[in-house]
Structure 1
Amino acid sequence: MFYLSKFLIQMKIILNNNSLYKALRPFNDVGFVPTMGSIHEGHISLIERSNRTCKKTIVSIFVNPKQFNNKKDFKNYPTNIKKDIKILKKTKKVDFLYIPKFKDIYNNNKKSNIKIANKDKILCAKYRKGHFEGVLDVMGRLTNLVNPKKIFMGKKDYQQYFLIKNYLKNKCKASIIPCKTIRNKSKIALSSRNNHLDLNGIKKASFLSKNLIKFKRNLANRKKIKQNLKIQMKYFEKFLKIKIEYLELRSIKNLKISNTVKGSRLFVAYYIDNIRLIDNF
């Protein structure tokens, strides 16, 4: 009955913090899905998970300039608020949509003192200076504003989930809920950045994803994992004519380099026509 009643709710759009406080004040079981827009099925799966486990679900759309280490990347980030609103309304599973302005999030001039520990300057943190400092800062601010019971995040950016979970665990009561990566029929992980790929780029991303899934499955039976990763990386770069930033097997518990497939994930970051994509398997 609770689940069916959701279909009767119309999504309320919230444009400032005062409206946010008033809307959420009566509720103590709120599920939060933070996004930067360009809503796709991956986001919808997070919303559905929240909808099943929380009484109210709020989605935020905020393209955070402070987490972009490349100004051009920020400028080119795909945004279409009208389209996003239409998609979210159609789900009939979102109670509140929060679309804050920059001043709503950064309502003071205090500089962030967040620093990523040296042990965490791996994977994307190694190549995107300042990115995760910006991510942690905005997630701390958003969480304080929304005060959710649960935050739902996809595993596609596992390092982001890992760092946010550790950063927020002593700062708020919210539980961080990891949700499975949603892929299309071509096995490409859904991402707003996929919108920049042409047909040839999509074929390359699909080939890489499909073969890395197989590669990880077979890696369990191989020795010298580090050597095998280097060989595979060079093969993809030469065959697909792409640039791979990293291809590493790491523990899901602490993200340390792993020599066993069990309890580990295979992380990759690569460029197709200057478009940076990430994934893990």
Structure 2
Amino acid sequence: MFYLLIFLLQMKLIKLKTDLIKAIKFDKSLGFVPTMGSLHEGHKALIKKSQKICKKTLVSIFVNPTQFNNKKDYKTYPKNLKKDLSYLRKLNVDYIYLPTITQIYLKKHDKIKLNKSQNILCAKFRKGHFEGVLDVLDRFIELISPQKMFMGEKDFQQFFLVKKYIENKYNTKVYVGKTIRDKNKLALSSRNSLLNKKSFNESGIITKKLLKLKNEISKNRKNYKKLIFNLKNELSKNFDIKIEYLECRNTQNLNTSILKKPFKLFAAYYINNVRLIDNF
């Protein structure tokens, strides 16, 4: 009981911006893990990575309204603060920051705009999404000034854009953590909790087919468009899903030239009205 009390006292739960500034004022090696809550093993991996290479770790929980291009999606985004706080206590996180919308957006910032080459994949189908992501992270980094920030690889396009934007503007290094998957290979995501059992199982089957496709493309890059076309037809025929995109892009600049370059297969689809994304 005594050790539990000491443990709880060590973790600081912060709600006010002024309290946050005071708390982290002298932390020179601070790792930052931004989240929207509904924490899972993917978040845990990022936190553990931060704790391994930083003296202290700060985790924020903030469902950012400006990155949602769909009001219903924002309202239904899974939330469980009580569970999240318990989860973070067990991970021995140093700071938890729970800001309000007013706190974050009190100060006016210049609008962020993506260029034409960046309006691909999720940016093409979720207008304003990444502008909202970049804006809110810009505000967080300006306030926190962490030495390092940690993001998941599941949304590789997000990581790609954030890394370029943040590292060009601040002295903050942006790190990526590998995608953590469920037993059925589905990438862990807060939105997975919105899936029913049937959709969850089918998403696992789809993921395995996408993994197989990535391997086939790696062996036959010249015919990758035909391989993708065939699998899209197969998935649309056998599953009740709406595919937004399924395409290959290299990891250097996200263009479609993949010959002799490292590349990823990117996918986004709706199943039972839940939007899932992944890359392989």
Do both proteins adopt the same fold according to a TM-score greater than 0.5, normalized to the shorter chain? yes
**Do structure 1's residue 235 and structure 2's residue 238 form an aligned pair?**
no
Residue aligning to 1:250: 249
Q: Structure 1: which 5+ runs fail to align?
A: 1-6
CA change 1:185–1:261 in 2 (3 A) is farther
Normalising by structure 1, report the TM-score.
0.94
Residue aligning to 1:55: 55
Q: Given residue 238 of structure 1, which amino acid in structure 2 is its aligned partner?
A: K
Structure 1 residue 270 displacement after superposition: 0.3
Secondary structure of 2:39's match?
Answer: coil
In 2: Cα distance, 1:216 partner to 1:9 partner:
48
Secondary structure of 1:170's match?
Answer: helix
Structure 1 residue 66 displacement after superposition: 0.5
Structure 1 residue 119 displacement after superposition: 0.4
CA displacement, residues 44-74 of structure 1 (integer Å, 9 cap, x when unaligned): 0000000000000000000000100000000
**Do structure 1's residue 90 and structure 2's residue 90 form an aligned pair?**
yes
When the two chains are superposed, the root-mean-square deviation of aligned CA atoms in Å is 1.6
Normalising by structure 2, report the TM-score.
0.94
1:134 to 124, 128, 132: 132
Q: Given residue 258 of structure 1, which amino acid in structure 2 is its aligned partner?
A: S
Structure 1 residue 221 displacement after superposition: 2.2
Structure 1 residue 214 displacement after superposition: 1.4
Structure 1 residue 9 displacement after superposition: 7.4
Whether the 8 Å CA contact 2:213–2:227 is kept in 1: the answer is no
In 1: Cα distance, 2:227 partner to 2:259 partner:
13
Whether the 8 Å CA contact 1:250–1:264 is kept in 2: the answer is yes
Residue aligning to 2:73: 73
Residue aligning to 2:27: 27
Whether the 8 Å CA contact 1:36–1:63 is kept in 2: the answer is yes
Q: What aligned pairs does 1:99-248 form with structure 2 within 5 A after superposition?
A: 99-108=98-107, 110=108, 112-222=110-220, 223-248=222-247
Q: Structure 2: which 5+ runs fail to align?
A: 1-6
Runs of 4 or more, structure 1, over 6 Å off, are: none
In 1: Cα distance, 2:152 partner to 2:16 partner:
26
In 2: Cα distance, 1:221 partner to 1:87 partner:
42
In 2: Cα distance, 1:260 partner to 1:232 partner:
20
Whether the 8 Å CA contact 1:216–1:261 is kept in 2: the answer is no
Q: Given residue 239 of structure 1, which amino acid in structure 2 is its aligned partner?
A: N
Structure 1 residue 30 displacement after superposition: 0.1
Q: Kindly tell me the number of residue pairs found equivalent between the two proteins.
A: 274
Secondary structure of 1:220's match?
Answer: helix
Residue aligning to 1:278: 277
Residue aligning to 2:4: none
